[in-house]
Amino acid sequence: MDLLDIRRIYVEPAAAELPRGKEILARFPDAERVEVESHHRIPELYGDETNVNRWVRIKREALVLGVKKTLTARPNGRSADFIAPSTANGCAMACAYCYVPRHKGYSNPITVFANIDKICAYVSRHAHKQGVKSTPNECDPAAWVYDIGENSDCSVDARLSDNVYDLVDLFRWLPNAKASFATKHVNRDLLDRDPQGRTRIRFSLMPQRDAKILDIRTSPIAERIAAIDDFVAAGYEVHVNFSPVVVRDGWLADWAELLDQLDAGVGPAAKKQLAAEVIFLTHNRDLHEVNLGWHPKAEELIWRPDLQQPKRSQNGSWNVRYRTGEKGRHVAALLDVIATRTPYLHVRYAF
């Protein structure tokens, strides 16, 4: 089944008039066009719980084309120094733990923002205002790192528009800044962009036993590992995300096996620059209810009241995470396995 088969494009009139909007519409000449007032407000896509029954179909067939109206770079401090303004939102993949559906409603197909020129200009101005990064931190010792894919997967976005390529080109020439994005999709077209070390790709990895249930419509774990050397050779900085880490019977043994696969699958150049982020699962009560309607098997893994405790999020919804105290022991146990199996792998942070 194709990851994308765009049959309907919901388009803001202002987006259709921009050069990038025209390019995207020309790529899908046979798609039905539905004019919308705002990419935020499309009742048949967002907030309709009946869409659970066609969750994946909407992701494959629908595309939203809009204009990003608010441009801000939010401080982050973990994966990146700043979260850059999004050039897309939503995803064609369907990972069971994804947080984006919590905010967008019962479906989250890709929204592409057509005002890429303004987004790039904003990022360039913001980076120049930062000046030289004088104090190294866990994001990067020398460059200000901008996450360019907080609410989407840039490897998939690049199959729909040139927005990601424009950002890779932009950061190539920013002397004090670096782009970064996490991905679960191998898009080898990105190998031709010559990023010159100024774009960091973080391949998300988890044991295949978990991925086959949770990472729906993504590239296989083995394919992601096999791509690492090629992306390093093409001039990307490549890190790995161990995310989300799911606690279950046999989980540490499966992570040890994954680390062995990673060690065997990458060469010296990749290992020399490889670093990792370790993020244990956080789930959400509302998303749990949605998932029961389309993928209940996933909930057997990630909804574990016997292991988890609730916590109210900043937006008022209820999240669940592994219990305090127990989680600390889980983190320490996995870090021990990483140190044993892949001692060269620097863990930037773990939580």
For 78-110, write each residue's pLDDT tens digit.
899 999 999 999 999 999 998 766 555 567 899
Single-letter code of the amino acid located at 204: S
Q: State whether residue 239 is helix, strand or coil.
A: strand
pLDDT bucket at 287, cuts 50 / 70 / 90: confident
Distance CA 275, CA 347 (A): 6
Give the pLDDT mean for 53-80: 92
Burial 6-32 (b: 16+ CB within 10 A, else e): bebbbbbeebbebebbeebbeebeebe
Distance CA 170, CA 28 (A): 26
List the beta bridge partners of residue 180.
Answer: 147, 200
Distance CA 53, CA 70 (A): 33
Tell me the two tokens of residue 73: 């770079």
Q: Provide the pLDDT for residue 152.
A: 94
Distance CA 164, CA 180 (A): 11
> Please, are residues 65 and 14 in contact by the beta-carbon 8 Å criterion?
no
Phi, psi for residue 267 in degrees, rounded to 5:
-95, -175
Among candidate residues 51, 164, 72, the one with its CA nearest the CA of residue 126: 72
- Residue 46 pLDDT greater than 80, yes or no: no
Among candidate residues 215, 236, 60, the one with its CA nearest the CA of residue 164: 236
Question: Among 51-55, 125-129, 336-340, whose mean pLDDT is lowest?
Answer: 51-55
Q: State whether residue 328 is helix, strand or coil.
A: helix
pLDDT bucket at 54, cuts 50 / 70 / 90: confident
Distance CA 316, CA 305 (A): 20
Strands (E), the chain: 8-11, 32-35, 62-66, 74-75, 82-83, 88-89, 110-113, 144-147, 177-183, 199-205, 237-245, 275-280, 282-284, 308-312, 318-322, 346-350
Share above pLDDT 70 across residues of the chain, in percent, rounded to a whole number: 95
Q: Biggest alpha carbon distance in the chain?
A: 56
Q: Provide the pLDDT for residue 47.
A: 58
pLDDT tens digits for range 186-217: 999 999 999 999 999 999 999 999 999 999 99
Distance CA 276, CA 195 (A): 20
> Please, are residues 112 and 151 in contact by the beta-carbon 8 Å criterion?
no
Residue carrying the six token digits 């391949």: 203
Give the gyration radius of the chain's Cα atoms.
20
pLDDT tens digits for range 105-134: 567 899 999 999 999 999 999 999 999 999
Q: Provide the pLDDT for residue 290.
A: 82
pLDDT bucket at 41, cuts 50 / 70 / 90: confident
Give the dihedral sign, CA 130/150/226/280.
positive
> Please, are residues 32 and 8 in contact by the beta-carbon 8 Å criterion?
yes
Single-letter code of the amino acid located at 125: R
Region at 220 (left for phi over 0; alpha for psi -120 to 50; beta for the rest): beta
Distance CA 127, CA 85 (A): 13
